[in-house]
Structure 1
Amino acid sequence: MHTPSRPEDLDHPQQLWTRAVIMAMVDAACTTGTEFALDEDGLWCHGTGAGGWWRLSVFDAGRALFCGQDPDGSHTHVDGEQIDFLAGGPDWLPWDLLRDDAAGNLFGFVYWWENGAWHRIPYPQELREDGLEGAAPWVGSHKEFLRLTASSFDVPYVHEQALVQTVDRFAALVREGRADADAVTALLTAPDGEGRPAPRVDVALDIATRAGILA
């Protein structure tokens, strides 16, 4: 990934949606307090570390939005002035929501997808980093997605590679349009850690269904 990040660092929105939904499913089903939320504005992650966050929204007509901030890596001011990460954004963006985000100085990056490519504002030369890699390294790396998802199972005595393979198989089913409720159950119950609480399969199924990734 470039420093600062560039639009070509992000994979296709549909790939990102699949990854984000799977991360949310596993986190919500296997941890005591999920950092993810799915609502009419998209899929959110509120806990990327030190108050970092991101939101992914996929719209009709081949459009998408990815925004967020990494408090340790996002440089949001130049010469004391807050950067306008929305400058020149297209009309179809959810402007009311984005203006609220901007007013709270919540942005370190805003990328939008249209006409088959990601876009962002031209960064000032003084901007050293936008924080995309710190907040969401998985947007350009399937390997990072697998690693992060595997860590959410919270089964310390199960080898990480086994979890990575389990997640990879499920992601392939989603891409092929063959993921169903049985596949979700198999994903979440595959790691049989000693003393591990039963995963909340119903919660994951609700996310997967509302996100539209099941066959």
Structure 2
Amino acid sequence: MHTPSRPEDLEHPELLWARAVTMAMVDTACSTNTEFALDGDGVWCHTTGAGGWWRLTVLDGGRAVFCGQDPDGSHTHVGGEQIDFLAGGPDWLPWELLRDDAAGNLFGFVYWWEDGAWHRIPYPDQVREDGLEGAAAWVGADEAEYLGLTVSSFDVPSAMERGLTEAIARFGALARERKADAAAVAALLAAAHTEGRPAPRLDAAIDFATRAGILA
């Protein structure tokens, strides 16, 4: 990624949705205290560590918004004041939601997808990093970060990690095409099951994937 990050650092919203939903689905199935959520505002990760967060919202008409913050990497104050990430934003943005975020000083970055490309405000020269890479390196072209984060949600021996990574990649390809089904979810979770450990909750995973719209 560039420093500070640029719109071209983010992949297509459909790919990001598949990645985000897969990570969230797996964590929901495997964790008793997941940091992910899915609601009418999109897919959220409420903490990426040290209070960081991100949210992906996909809207009608092929539009999307990706926003969040990395407290350690979002250096976006100029003259002691937070820059206005919403200045000049299009009228279709979910303004009420975003203004609430801005009022809470929660932004390190705000990107929106329109007309086949990601956009953001022009950053002042003093902005040296917006924290996108720290909060969500998985939005870039390299799938390694996304696969690593998803594998980490499973409690598996290191000897199983390669096979599990391959299973996640296969599921992600189906999710991107909206061709995944309950059997594909079950196969992914089965790849992580080890004797003597609680099995991931298949019903929770299927429910999440269904609500997110990635199942055929």
Question: What interval of TM-score do these two structures reach, taking the shorter chain for normalisation?
Answer: over 0.9
Partners of 1:45 and 1:55 within 8 A in 2: yes
Distance 1:60 1:68 in 2: 21
How well do the aligned residues superpose, as a CA RMSD in angstroms? 1.1
The sequence identity of aligned pairs, in percent, is: 76
Name 2:210's counterpart in structure 1.
209
Which sections of structure 2, spanning at least 5 residues, go unmatched? none
Structure 1 runs of 4+ off > 4 angstroms?
Answer: none
**Distance apart, 1:176 and its partner CA:** 3.7
Distance 1:177 1:150 in 2: 21
**Distance apart, 1:165 and its partner CA:** 0.3
Matches within 5 A, 1:50-61: 50-61=50-61
**Aligned partner of 1:20: which letter?**
A
**Distance apart, 1:112 and its partner CA:** 0.1
Matches within 5 A, 1:11-90: 11-90=11-90
Structure 1 window deviating more from structure 2 (101-110 vs 200-209): it is 200-209
Distance 2:190 2:160 in 1: 15
Distance 1:82 1:174 in 2: 37
> Could you state the TM-score of these two structures normalised by the residue count of structure 2?
0.96
Name 1:195's counterpart in structure 2.
196
Partners of 1:74 and 1:129 within 8 A in 2: yes
**Aligned partner of 1:48: which letter?**
T
Partners of 1:31 and 1:154 within 8 A in 2: no
Distance 2:158 2:145 in 1: 21
Distance 1:177 1:14 in 2: 10
Number of residue pairs aligned between Structure 1 and Structure 2: 215
Name 1:132's counterpart in structure 2.
132
**Aligned partner of 1:28: which letter?**
T
> Could you state the TM-score of these two structures normalised by the residue count of structure 1?
0.97
**Aligned partner of 1:9: which letter?**
D
**Distance apart, 1:143 and its partner CA:** 1.7
Distance 2:116 2:179 in 1: 25
Distance 1:108 1:114 in 2: 20
**Distance apart, 1:51 and its partner CA:** 0.5
Distance 1:26 1:154 in 2: 11
Distance 2:122 2:89 in 1: 11
Name 2:151's counterpart in structure 1.
150
**Aligned partner of 1:91: which letter?**
D
**Aligned partner of 1:54: which letter?**
W
